[in-house]
Amino acid sequence: MFKSLVDKMLANSKVYSELYLSHISIDSVVFGFHDDCLKVLLTRFEGEDNWALPGGYVQHEENIYDAAKRILQQRTGATNIFLKQFETFGKTNRSEGFFEGLPDDLWQKKRFISIGYYALIDFTTLSPEIDMFSDACSWHDSADLPGFSMDHKEIYDAALLQLRRDLNYKPVGYTLLPEKFTMPQLQRLYEVILGKELNRGNFYRKMMRYNILQKLEETRKGGAHKAANYYSFDKQRYEEALNNGFQESW
């Protein structure tokens, strides 16, 4: 590990041990949608080749959801974040090798069980910030991912699988799309999350059945095809669907 990173970790060990609960961390998989691609926000520890999920710790008097939100706000400046816990990762060897050579009484080197959240963030409103331990924080295309630190690839894969499953009973898009969007844009968002093409007619019918869209008067002009209708989400119905779920299929 880079010497300057080790020094900063050692210098913060005591403060962290007083500020945060031991053994518990939070890692978030932050998805964005841009240029018809699914993006993920990754950070890189100073001097490392591999990338990590933005993460942090839980304060003694802080709910875990609030901790996840605080950590992401500090990292991204974003306030409009959809955040969902999906799995907790607790294998004994999950950070194996990462802290090699560092003293055993370093607080950060203890065993940490990490609560995974996935986040959907409006790509355009966000300015990724590096923290004191990292030298980069940037968006990566989900179709072209770099190497990951520790067990973070496993956490990323689990988040994407959960997001795909959630598409079956939850609306997705409010924090990922601009306020008004066309049906092809919405379909493209679903396609990049699911990693497969969808039939246009089926997608349209299914989406309209969910009854969460408002068709706007305005159309998008230009291009070779006929003008495309703009839609926006009906915020109230969207929230209801988020809380109650779509009709289950059984």
Of 13-72, binders to a second copy (CB under 8 A) are 21-24, 58, 60-65
SS3 category, 220: strand
Q: Among all chains, which residue has been given the structure tokens 């691609």? A: 37
**Exposed e or buried b per residue across 190-205, where buried means at least 16 C-beta atoms within 10 angstroms of its C-beta:** bbbbeeeeeeeeebee
- Does position 83 interact with a second copy (CB under 8 A)? The reply is no
Q: How far is the CB of 209 from a second copy (least distance, A)?
A: 12
Q: How far is the CB of 166 from a second copy (least distance, A)?
A: 9
In the structure, how many helices (H) and strands (E) does the chain have?
6, 9
SS3 category, 66: helix
Which amino acid appears at position 179 of this protein? E
Residues 6+ apart with CB under 8 A from 35: none
Among 14, 34, 111, 209, binds a second copy (CB under 8 A): 111
- Does position 195 interact with a second copy (CB under 8 A)? The reply is no
Residue with smaller CB distance to a second copy, 126 or 163 = 163
Q: CA-to-CA distance for 153 and 31, rounded, in angstroms? A: 14
- Does position 91 interact with a second copy (CB under 8 A)? The reply is yes
The closest of 179, 170, 151, 11 to 91, measured between CA atoms, is 151
| Span from 11-19, 44-52, 80-88, 233-241 in contact with a second copy (CB under 8 A) | 80-88
Q: Tokens at residue 76, please?
A: 């991204």
Residue with smaller CB distance to a second copy, 60 or 221 = 60
Residue with smaller CB distance to a second copy, 57 or 156 = 57
Q: How far is the CB of 23 from a second copy (least distance, A)?
A: 5
| Contact pattern from residue 129 through residue 168 relative to a second copy, giving x for each residue in contact according to CB under 8 A and a dash for the rest | -----------------------------------xx-xx
Alpha-carbon dihedral sign for residues 165, 169, 170, 176? positive
- Does position 113 interact with a second copy (CB under 8 A)? The reply is yes
Maximum CA extent, the chain:
66
Residue with smaller CB distance to a second copy, 123 or 190 = 190
Residue with smaller CB distance to a second copy, 219 or 247 = 247
Give how many residues touch a second copy by CB under 8 A: 33
- Does position 249 interact with a second copy (CB under 8 A)? The reply is yes
State how far Cα 37 lies from the chain centre.
14
Q: Quote the Cα angle for 170-55-76, to 5°.
A: 75
List interacting residues with a second copy (CB under 8 A). 21-24, 58, 60-65, 85, 87-88, 90-92, 111, 113, 115, 164-165, 167-169, 190, 194, 198, 206, 245, 248-250
